[in-house]
A and B are shown apart, each in its own frame.
Chain A
Amino acid sequence: MAIQSIERTAKQVVLTVQEYSLFAARALMNLFRPPIYWTDFLIQSDIIGFGSLPIVILSGFFTGGVLSLQSSATLSEFGATAVTGQFVSLTMIRELGAVLTGIMVSGRNASSMASELGSMVVTEQIDAMRALGVDPIRKLVTPRIFATITMLLFLTIVADAFGILGGAAVTVFLNHQNGTQYFNNAYEHLALPDIVQGLVKPLVFGYIIASTGCFYGMRTTGGTEGVGRSTISAVVNSSVLIIFVDFLITHLLLSLLPA
């Protein structure tokens, strides 16, 4: 019985991965084939981009502040508090800006995508759309993916900027250090590979967030309880996938573009 249960679970996992791959590939291919629903893209961009701005600004600012507090405490032991700016800016731009924004947007938008599409599935609205001759993947999924990829790039830049500002605020007002030195240090040690790394990640994370959210929403079964399950699966899987893929991208980019 136990072996059968393991076998069934393994098959289910493989099937889910296969279905997700086909779904995500089909949605991605639609980005390059007409018709593209530009109005839906703009609506989703507003919801995902502008709607996520407050949480991204706040989380970026306070993460930068915490980085500055923690790093200056350690760096002061070596008399190197002057490099706080470099530490904060590199950490935010190369790593935390993209990952934190990705996880924030995942919590906010992957959940809303899964619950919205899941509700449409259980009330037969998706079937009605298909019956009316409209492709729900093209109409609902592709604009969300396109909008999330685009908006996450800009949100990450905003998070990076506010993270560096948060670090500066702590450096100047709590640690009583020179602000000009902080910004100079932050800017001078930035190199192209750091920027590339920071801007490639949100493109991939955006794709993961939207495709995972829509995938779990579109395969919802089991009524309103099923919508809840889909929402949880979307947030958990997209967050874990973001961290896992972040590791892979970092490893790959560090080999291709050494700092």
Chain B
Amino acid sequence: MSQATVPVPQPPPPAPEAGPVVALHNVAVSFDGPPVFENVSFSVAPGETRILLGPAGVGKSVLLKLILGLLPPLEGSVELFGNDISHMPEEKLFPLRARAGMVFQEGALFDSLTVRDNVAYQLIQEGVRDEEIDARVHDALRFVGLEQTFDLFPSSLSGGMRRRVAIARALINQPELILYDSPTGGLDPVTCETIIELIVKQRDVRATPSLLVTHRLQDAFTLCTHRYDSEQGRMVPLPDGQINRNTTFLMLNEGHLIFDGTLHELTHSTNAFVREFLE
């Protein structure tokens, strides 16, 4: 109850002159058949967290891959950090991708490398000194609460631990954008909460713009209604009636973006599918 009197620190709103980190304009994607989705347009502003909702198989993961140029769009354009990457050659995409972090659905850790080498993969390729790599890997693993796994191989980790190592790998180079692909999918409720807490921590402590794909409404609402308390070192609920202003929603269904707005707009939407999804 006393939380209501505590002033709630909100991440600073993005500067109005700053352009979007990601912008999609009338994008369509197809794999030798009818489009997976079409006419999809939205953007992610600096400091903003966007939650992409939708039923399984609607193309949410495809959309994330599209943003990093891992897949080309059939139509429309994709802008990443102000660069149109729709038809950019692969070699020119690598430096742009290195500025972003992505957490894959199953973690996608390199199974022949230790946790240390997985987390440090980008730093090793950049030729960073071993001492600095070790220090930064320890920092990243401490952030996700897995410092003890430094020398282990991914095969000896649980599903939740792998997901957290993947988050550490995505965060180690201080990315300017983070893409989370169903980071809590298939995990138990306690591990889900741990991972959502990490995402909230990254959002509130470092204010990194992000796009999170999920079909778990509970996770999405937790992100909106909680903040990270650095003093307590844990995630705490926002006072009643308050939500994180920089966390907004998108919803994909049947190949179209059917919703783009705030939590309030989502819960008051008149769209039949949105209503069904929320119920």
Within 8 A of A (CB), among B120-170: 121-122, 125, 169
| A184 CA / B65 CA spacing, docked (Å) | 65
| A120 CA / B94 CA spacing, docked (Å) | 19
In the complex, whether A224 has a CB less than 8 A from a CB of chain B is no
In the complex, whether B111 has a CB less than 8 A from a CB of chain A is yes
In the complex, whether B233 has a CB less than 8 A from a CB of chain A is no
Binary flags per residue of B101-126, CB closer than 8 Å to A gives 1, else 0: 01011101111000000000110010
| A128 CA / B106 CA spacing, docked (Å) | 11
- 13 more A-B contacts (CB under 8 A) besides A123-B108, A131-B68, A133-B125? A123-B111, A127-B70, A127-B104, A127-B108, A128-B102, A128-B110, A131-B102, A132-B122, A132-B125, A132-B169, A133-B98, A135-B91, A139-B125
Report if A123-B106 is in contact (Cβ < 8 Å); known contacts: A133-B95, A133-B122, A134-B121.
Answer: yes
Contacting residue for B108 out of A125, A133, A139, CB 8 A? A125
| A131 CA / B67 CA spacing, docked (Å) | 10
Which B residue sits closest to A131, measured CB to CB?
B102
For B98, what are the chain A residues with a Cβ–Cβ distance below 8 Å?
A: 132-133
In the complex, whether B238 has a CB less than 8 A from a CB of chain A is no
Most buried by B among A130, A135, A139: A130
Contacting residue for A124 out of B68, B90, B97, B104, CB 8 A? B104
For A129, what are the chain B residues with a Cβ–Cβ distance below 8 Å?
A: 110, 121
Asked whether, in the complex, the Cβ of A125 is within 8 Å of the Cβ of B100, the reply is: no
For B109, what are the chain A residues with a Cβ–Cβ distance below 8 Å?
A: 125, 128
For A124, what are the chain B residues with a Cβ–Cβ distance below 8 Å?
A: 104-106, 108
Within 8 A of A (CB), among B71-91: 90-91
CB distance from A215 to the nearest CB of B (A): 16
Report if A125-B94 is in contact (Cβ < 8 Å); known contacts: A131-B70, A132-B121.
Answer: no
Report 15 cross-chain contacts, Cβ distance below 8 Å, ordered by A residue: A123-B106, A124-B104, A125-B110, A125-B111, A127-B104, A130-B68, A130-B90, A131-B68, A131-B70, A131-B104, A133-B95, A133-B97, A133-B122, A134-B94, A135-B90
Interface size on B, residues (CB 8 A): 22
Asked whether, in the complex, the Cβ of B97 is within 8 Å of the Cβ of A128, the reply is: no
For B90, what are the chain A residues with a Cβ–Cβ distance below 8 Å?
A: 130, 135
Binary flags per residue of A107-134, CB closer than 8 Å to B gives 1, else 0: 0000000000000100111011111111
Asked whether, in the complex, the Cβ of B65 is within 8 Å of the Cβ of A127, the reply is: yes
| A124 CA / B61 CA spacing, docked (Å) | 12
Most buried by B among A131, A132, A135: A131
Contacting residue for A130 out of B95, B97, B105, CB 8 A? B97
| A68 CA / B91 CA spacing, docked (Å) | 54
For B102, what are the chain A residues with a Cβ–Cβ distance below 8 Å?
A: 128, 131
Binary flags per residue of A211-228, CB closer than 8 Å to B gives 1, else 0: 000000000000000000
CB distance from B52 to the nearest CB of A (A): 17
Which B residue sits closest to A132, measured CB to CB?
B122
For B65, what are the chain A residues with a Cβ–Cβ distance below 8 Å?
A: 127
| A127 CA / B108 CA spacing, docked (Å) | 8
For B125, what are the chain A residues with a Cβ–Cβ distance below 8 Å?
A: 132-134, 139
CB distance from A133 to the nearest CB of B (A): 3
For B94, what are the chain A residues with a Cβ–Cβ distance below 8 Å?
A: 130, 133-135
Which B residue sits closest to A135, measured CB to CB?
B94
Within 8 A of B (CB), among A74-103: none
For A133, what are the chain B residues with a Cβ–Cβ distance below 8 Å?
A: 94-95, 97-98, 122, 125
Binary flags per residue of A192-206, CB closer than 8 Å to B gives 1, else 0: 000000000000000
CB distance from B98 to the nearest CB of A (A): 3
Asked whether, in the complex, the Cβ of A131 is within 8 Å of the Cβ of B110, the reply is: no
Asked whether, in the complex, the Cβ of A128 is within 8 Å of the Cβ of B104, the reply is: yes
